[in-house]
Amino acid sequence: MKAAYFTDTGGPDNINYGELPVPSRTPGTALVRVAASAVNNVDTFVRAGTYATELTHPQVLGRDVVGTVEQLGTDSPAGFHVGDTVWANSMGFGGRPGTAAQFTAVPIDRLYHLPPELNADGGDAVAVAAVLHSAATANLALHRHAQLQPGETVFIGGASGGVGTAALVQAVRAGARAITSSSAADVERCLSLGASAALDYRSEGFAEELRQAVRTVSDGRGLDVHLETSGRHRLSLAVELLALRGRIIVLSGMAATDSVPLGRLYTKDGSIRGFAISNATVADLAAAAEAVNELLRDGSLRARNVTVLPLSGAADAHAALEAGTVHGKIVLVPQKD
């Protein structure tokens, strides 16, 4: 099969494109014919060695996949059949093969059915692959880690990005009141998705504007959840705005450093919790998958500015992500035989 892979961690130039053996379907796995594989920032961390994880060289890139079941074994549980349209979003690390290939072997307990309304062989495959990682990350951040409750107030920074948009959609659906930050061009979009207040993060008066929004939207209570998806952390301001027992969830900014006003944090019973979806359990991922499928069924998830590249463009995709020139999502599609 054709695949994009690396044999040593390092820069994008370490990525190779060529032929590898089709992965063996071991007990408990399904061989999946890949229709689309998304490219995520975390994929660059795995390739560079920034995120330490078990790798099996040659390591195929990619964690997200949409495709069809090609082979199953007699050991496979009921519910999956050859030809089923499926997806997964936890491949390419932890010793598992990646998805930037024509085939990948996915553990059955990490494999989910694509809603029957969608077609893995058509344009739906690209559209779905583009939102899987963001939607599941947002779901686990809000519900597994922040324990967001109806009526609570949540701040979502970077709300025009993939994770931020997915978080906004899911927070509003959960009955929370959302305050967002984004570029000025996306303020109206955030409001249209249900934000109670939407701010331009570049505004010179951003801090005071956020204070006022929090006072108004939360009825003076403060933020129950603070979720910054852009990596631009302002922890002093976040702690200042927390409600009693407010929660700050940190899920972005690999190289970020910031000071924390610990006195103000602990006297509010506040907490700061790190979250990386790479550490999610199989049960966590399955719960998030149910929520993601519900959003896919009703069309609530829509990626913007999706760029489709062949598998041979994987190195260019990684280089663009690291250079910060990507606006939207890159999805790799295997060339037809």
Strand partners, 33: 68, 103
Q: Assign 233 a pLDDT band (cuts: 50, 70, 90).
A: confident
Mean pLDDT of 236-248: 97
Residue 142, helix vs strand vs coil: helix
Give the whole-angstrom CA distance, residue 34 versus residue 106: 11
CB 247 within 8 A of CB 147: yes
DSSP state of 277: G
Helix (H) or strand (E) holding 190: helix 187-192
Percentage of residues in the chain having pLDDT higher than 90:
85
Give the whole-angstrom CA distance, residue 336 versus residue 333: 9
pLDDT value of residue 43: 97
pLDDT value of residue 121: 67
Q: Assign 231 a pLDDT band (cuts: 50, 70, 90).
A: confident
Cα angle 221, 257, 90 (rounded to 5 degrees) comes to: 85
Give the whole-angstrom CA distance, residue 52 versus residue 45: 8
CB 287 within 8 A of CB 312: no
Helix (H) or strand (E) holding 226: strand 223-228
DSSP state of 326: -
Give the whole-angstrom CA distance, residue 282 versus residue 289: 10
Count of beta carbons in the 10 Å neighbourhood of residue 138: 31
- pLDDT tens, residue by residue, 316-325: 999 999 998 9
Q: Are strands 329-333 and 197-200 parallel, antiparallel or unpaired?
A: unpaired
CB 302 within 8 A of CB 308: no
What is the end-to-end Cα distance of the chain in Å, rounded?
9
pLDDT value of residue 304: 85
Q: How many CA atoms lie within 13 A of 216 on its CB side?
A: 11
pLDDT value of residue 73: 80
Q: How many CA atoms lie within 13 A of 172 on its CB side?
A: 20
Give the whole-angstrom CA distance, residue 291 versus residue 317: 29
Closest CA to 88 of 207, 231, 96: 96
pLDDT value of residue 258: 82
Residue with tokens 């599941």: 136
pLDDT value of residue 253: 82
Tokens representing residue 6 in the block: 């690396």
Predicted model pTM? 0.94
Q: Assign 4 a pLDDT band (cuts: 50, 70, 90).
A: very high
Residue 207, helix vs strand vs coil: helix
pLDDT value of residue 337: 58
DSSP state of 101: B
Tokens representing residue 162 in the block: 């993939």
Residue 123, pLDDT above cutoff 80 = no
CB 179 within 8 A of CB 156: yes
pLDDT value of residue 327: 85
Residue, of 73 and 282, whose pLDDT is higher: 282
- 327: which residues sit within 8 A by CB, 6+ positions away? 305
Give the whole-angstrom CA distance, residue 81 versus residue 30: 10
Average pLDDT taken over every residue of the chain: 94
CB 235 within 8 A of CB 260: yes
Residue 302, pLDDT above cutoff 90 = no
Kindly tell me the number of DSSP H helices and DSSP E strands found in the chain: 9, 16
Q: Assign 287 a pLDDT band (cuts: 50, 70, 90).
A: very high
Alpha helices in 231-305 (DSSP H): 235-241, 262-266, 282-297
